[in-house]
Amino acid sequence: MSDLDASTPRIFLARHGETEWTKNGRYTGTTDLELTHHGIKQVKGTAIQLVGPGKLIDPGRIAHIWVSPRKRALQTFSLLFNNSSSSIGDGTTIAKTKVTITEDIAEWDYGDYEGLLVGEIRAGRKKRGLDSETAWNIWRDGCEGGESAEQVTERLDRLISEIREIQEPYMNGGNAVDVVLVAHGLILRAFAKRWLNYPIDSPLPLMFSPGAIGILSYKNHDIDEPGFYLGMALPLQD
């Protein structure tokens, strides 16, 4: 059975395209930046290649989409599903009833660390007498004035439960119930950890390029065996 014909539901993770702060590594949580020109090109390229009828992300197979309320994520969603090949030709689009804009998949709230570089955060904490034995690690320590790892875990687990409720009745097909999350680099990596039932501070190195797509699913058509695709063959285009 090919990947395209596989009946097991999938979860597509879509990271927003480049912003000005993405380029220089500044922590971008609640700051409402728009995509750069290059960021727009990144998402459009992904849309052309991967989104549309008969493609990897087929709008006709999507049960629901969750989108972060930040401008960069909303802009990415629009580019992926409104201005991409998914809305050209046969007119396939995503119904508004299938889209939820929610803080549950917003970027980690960095609080006092918003707009800072990792080195600046660590230097500031050291100056305040913190982290005398080990360097600051967001996965473990969270953010002063922002979210803790426990708070992020709680909201992601809530979303995961909602997704599994949609997908569980169709683990062997019957209905196409793929879902999409359009969000941010750190929160999507955190989501992947929780999907795999790892603690959010587990040492699981993950990378996620701007404008990229990640894929999660289940092994053996089993709701209790969440997994991720190390690689997936793309559908053959006529």
Within 10 A of 227 (CB to CB), how many other CB atoms are there?
A: 15
Is 177 in contact with 63 (CB distance < 8 Å)?
yes
| Residue 56 amino acid letter | L
Is 211 in contact with 42 (CB distance < 8 Å)?
yes
The burial class, CB within 10 Å (0-12 / 13-18 / 19+), for 78 is middle
Q: Is 168 a catalytic residue?
A: no
> Is residue 28 part of an annotated ligand binding site?
yes
Distance from the first to the final alpha carbon of the chain: 19
With b meaning 16 or more CB within 10 Å and e meaning fewer, what string describes 182-201? bbbbbbbbbbbbbbeeeebb
> Is residue 195 part of an annotated ligand binding site?
no
> Is residue 108 part of an annotated ligand binding site?
yes
Q: Is 37 a catalytic residue?
A: no
Vertex 176 angle, CA 173 and 177, to 5°: 105
Set 18, 64, 107, 184: catalytic member: 107
> Is residue 131 part of an annotated ligand binding site?
no
Q: What is residue 84's three-state secondary structure? A: coil
| CA atoms 222, 227, 231, 237: torsion sign | positive
Set 16, 18, 147, 184: catalytic member: 16
Q: Which residues are part of a known binding site for substrate? A: 28-29, 72, 107-110
Q: Which residues are part of a known binding site? A: 28-29, 72, 107-110
Catalytic positions, written as ranges: 16, 107
